[in-house]
């Protein structure tokens, strides 16, 4: 497994991130433990979760599954860099009482204690703000985080789904307080969705943040969805099905799959390898439901895409271009 630094920290993390959002909702606990063991055996040491994963009445279930895996021993906890998130309300009905969601100092304090209990650990390596909170000033957020760092309950703070200007605001306020600030940003970024290249990734690079892309297969759209349909396999559903109903999108995905077929490369593995080849990227989040899906993702780390193929992929999925040229009318 290839490793890199997490932004401007001293943490060494694998270049793939094990996303655990399917543990509980789609993958039972026993199978989830098998997947985590296989990931660790393969050298994948960076696990990502969130306090709301499990969803609905089962919010927190995913963290509990990870905590039970840690409790098995074998130095599992010591070998893993664990990242979780705070923002969403934990009320099962989705109607939180005041201060039971978002990024108030009170909710951050409550949420981190609850996550530590579910994860069965004494500290969280990377504590991420799941979304921006326009109601809470960064002065209050950083004051709460600084206390948690001093208490040893978290090591670093990161953001998720932040626009570029909020990354700047957050880190400028941290600098005025004399603290480290954000060390990572988790954003939507893949071949089919490249708007992060306009502001988010440049801001992250300017402030020394690692970039952790989520949805690297764009909801399955980049995972060989048309090929699977033609072979009688799992059909596209949800957003992927809606996207493929657009003839232009379907033609684009068909061109993508045809190109990779010519090179004998699986589409999902190519999408991950493309992300790994982009500047500023720490590692994409993969969310396997099965052991086979994990094995496929691991193969992408060894896959090198040649310049000609990278150029062809850019032609099929053109990015916005460098800033500020990308904003030109």
Catalytic residues: 53
Phi, psi of 87 (to 5 degrees): 170, -60
Distance from C-alpha of 138 to C-alpha of 143, rounded to nearest angstrom: 8
Tokens 């963290």, residue? 63
Q: How far apart are CA 141 and CA 129, in angstroms?
A: 10
On whether the CB atoms of residues 168 and 160 are closer than 8 A, the answer is no
The answer for 232, left when phi > 0, alpha when psi is -120 to 50, beta otherwise, is: left
Distance CA 181, CA 170 (A): 7
Instruction: Output the six-digit token pair for 113.
Output: 């204690």
Q: Smallest Cα–Cα separation from 147: which of 186, 200, 108?
A: 108
Count of CB atoms within 10 A of residue 96's CB? 14
Residues 6+ apart with CB under 8 A from 59: 51, 52, 53, 88, 90, 92
- Residue written as token pair 């957003």: 239
Pull the structure tokens for residue 89: 């309300």
Residue given tokens 């480290």 in the structure block: 180
């Amino acid at each position: 497994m290839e490793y890199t630094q997490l932004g401007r920290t001293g943490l060494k993390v694998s270049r793939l991130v094990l996303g655990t959002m399917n543990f509980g909702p789609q993958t039972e606990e026993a199978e989830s433990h098998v997947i985590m063991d296989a990931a660790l055996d393969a050298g994948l040491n960076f696990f990502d979760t969130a306090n709301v994963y499990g969803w609905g009445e089962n919010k927190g279930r995913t963290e509990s599954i990870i905590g039970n895996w840690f409790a098995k021993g074998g130095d599992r906890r010591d070998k893993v860099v664990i990242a979780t998130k705070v923002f969403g309300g934990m009320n099962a009905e989705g109607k939180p009482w005041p201060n039971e969601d978002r990024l108030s100092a009170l909710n951050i304090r409550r949420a981190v204690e609850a996550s530590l209990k579910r994860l069965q650990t004494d500290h969280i390596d990377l504590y991420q703000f799941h979304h921006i909170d326009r109601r809470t000033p960064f002065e209050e957020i950083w004051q709460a985080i600084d206390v948690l760092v001093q208490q040893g309950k978290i090591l670093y703070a990161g953001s998720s789904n932040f626009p570029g200007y909020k990354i700047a605001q957050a880190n400028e306020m941290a600098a005025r307080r004399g603290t480290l600030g954000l060390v990572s940003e988790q954003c939507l970024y893949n071949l089919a969705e490249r708007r992060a290249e306009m502001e988010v990734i440049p801001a992250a690079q300017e402030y020394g943040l690692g970039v952790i892309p989520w949805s690297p297969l764009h909801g399955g759209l980049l995972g060989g969805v048309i090929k699977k349909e033609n072979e009688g396999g799992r059909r596209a559903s949800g957003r992927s099905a809606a996207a493929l109903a657009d003839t232009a999108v379907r033609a684009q995905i068909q061109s993508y799959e045809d190109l990779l077929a010519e090179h004998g490369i699986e589409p999902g593995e190519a999408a991950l390898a493309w992300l790994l080849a982009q500047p500023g990227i720490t590692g994409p989040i993969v969310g396997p439901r099965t052991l086979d899906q994990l094995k496929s993702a691991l193969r992408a780390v060894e896959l090198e895409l040649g310049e000609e193929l990278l150029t062809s992929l850019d032609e099929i999925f053109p990015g916005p271009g460098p800033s500020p040229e990308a904003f030109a009318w």
